[in-house]
Amino acid sequence: MVSSGLRRALNGTCAPAAVVDLEAFDANLDALAERAHGLPIRLATKSLRVPAAIDRALAHPAYSGVLAYSVPEALCLHARGIRDIVIGYPSLDRPALTRMFAEAGACENITVMIDSVDHLDIIEQVRTTVAEAGRGSVPDGTGPGETGATVAEAGAASVRVCIDVDSSYRPAESWLGDRVHIGARRSPIRDARSAVTLARQVAARPGFDLVGMMFYEGQIAGTADAGRSVRQTIVRAMQRASIAELAERRATVIAAVSDVADLAFINGGGTGSFESSSVEGTLTELAAGSGLFSPGLFDGYTHFRHRPAAYFVSPVVRRPAPGWVTVFKGGFVASGVPGPDRLPTIAWPPGLDYSSLEGPGEVQTPLTGPGAETLSIGDLVWFRHAKAGELAEHFNEFQIVSQDRISDSWTTYRGEGLVL
């Protein structure tokens, strides 16, 4: 339920608009910190995509370093003064990698993600090109102020590398293989043997330093478990089995790779898995970001409850029939497997539902139900996006509400022109 004070704060505001409840955001910072049981939290920035929100989170003592989405995002964060940056996904963006090698201090502060020798080859090719440029110009992004010495030194810098290890659950893997795969399909690196083979490839290459490993258990962190249906009962049983299997496999992989490299960090978890990840004993840090906005998908978890902090509001522009209203825009459907859980949650007023024939639309969203009778033309309907950071892709800024008034506005990546 959206508080009356929060609603009053947006009265008269140009809408549609994105909104952050600052008190709820701060409460979620503390809630995640408590659930982390003392492990530092690496902030997943793509789950916010709002520089001021990132800065506010990193000012909290429980948060240290960021998990970026791409090389361009990492470079923007580095330019803002953030130093401990891990890129969460492998990159084939040669122009962006070129800029990373040409930017002073970037290689010392940015860790790239790999899960294959092919990734190493591409990174090495770019680094060699930059190094060989010497006093000449570097293609695709070196600024006019770069000196030849700076370019050559940057191109020769060591590359910090993190290995992404698949953390999905595969029941009876020894005889079913990957035919039953539950969780994100990410890395081909899954066991100690494949991890050590890749780690040795990194160690054998001059100028590459293996500094970390990442494990993302999406089937636990990103899968809602609430409900009494047969499906949700199976989900909870799957998650219990996956937690036990992953703890054993993760410990084995970490021990094996630690014989090859002196690892600085072992990253894992996600907002939805802090309870199990934080006490497993294998991780040196956790990753999270979505929990700070607490989007609609998190309503389906049993073991934690954060405060909704990010919304969007849209005005009623029509009353097409008794029991119906139509709001402007609203078609902000989340990524993932299409289904009702990917639709925005209608947060206020109560008693509204989508039209089964239209759903949330690009230009209009019809709503029906008893709550429609309480609304007049111009009234605002409040929604929560199903996922956290994706809301920022639809707005240039968030209106920040504190103590029941708009106290600030925070520009999004989109508002700054940053394309992830």
- Domain boundaries, given as residue ranges, for the chain: 23-292, 310-416
Q: Average pLDDT, stretch 222-250?
A: 86
The proportion of the chain whose per-residue pLDDT surpasses 90, expressed as a percent, equals: 81
The CATH class, in words, for 23-292 is: alpha beta
Q: Report, as an integer, the average pLDDT of 341-360.
A: 96
**Confidence class of residue 367 from pLDDT cuts 50, 70 and 90?**
very high
**What is the average pLDDT value for the chain, to the nearest integer?**
92
Phi, psi of 288 (to 5 degrees): -165, 160
Examine the pLDDT at 27 and tell me if it is beyond 90: yes
For residue 149, the model assigns a pLDDT of 42
The model's confidence at residue 136, banded by pLDDT at 50, 70 and 90, is: low
Comparing 176 with 331, the larger pLDDT belongs to: 331
Joined tokens for residue 242: 């996956």
Residue 225: pLDDT above 80? no
- Check residue 39 and give its pLDDT: 97
Question: Do 23-292 and 310-416 have matching folds?
Answer: no
* C-alpha dihedral sign at 326, 330, 331, 336: negative
Say how far apart CA 181 and CA 195 lie, in whole Å. 19
State the pLDDT at residue 153. 57
Residue-wise pLDDT tens digits, 87-114: 999 999 999 999 999 999 999 999 999 9
> pLDDT at position 142, please?
47
38 C-beta neighbours (distance < 10 Å), count: 8
In which band, very low, low, confident or very high, does the pLDDT at 387 lie, cut at 50, 70 and 90? very high
Which residues, in sequence order, are CB contacts of 228 under 8 Å at separation 6+?
none
Q: Is the pLDDT of residue 204 over 90?
A: yes
The CA distance from 381 to 328, in Å, is 10
pLDDT at 235: 86
Rounded to whole angstroms, the Cα distance separating 231 from 335 reads 21
Whether residue 306 is predicted with pLDDT greater than 90 in this model: the reply is yes
Cα–Cα distance measured from residue 34 to residue 129, given in angstroms and rounded to the nearest whole number: 46
Tokens at residue 284, please?
A: 């040196």
pLDDT of residue 147: 42
pTM above 0.75, yes or no: yes
What b/e readout covers 173-195, taking b as 16+ CB neighbours within 10 angstroms? beeeeeeebbbeebbebbebebb
Architecture of the domain made up of 310-416: Beta Barrel (2.40)
pLDDT at 135: 44
Query: What percentage of the chain carries pLDDT values higher than 70?
Result: 95
The whole-number average pLDDT for the span 369-398 is 96
> Of 104-118, 122-136, 211-225, 294-308, which has the strongest mean pLDDT?
104-118
pLDDT at 138 over 80: no
Residue 336 has pLDDT above 70, yes or no: yes
> What is the C-alpha separation between 21 and 7, in angstroms, rounded?
11
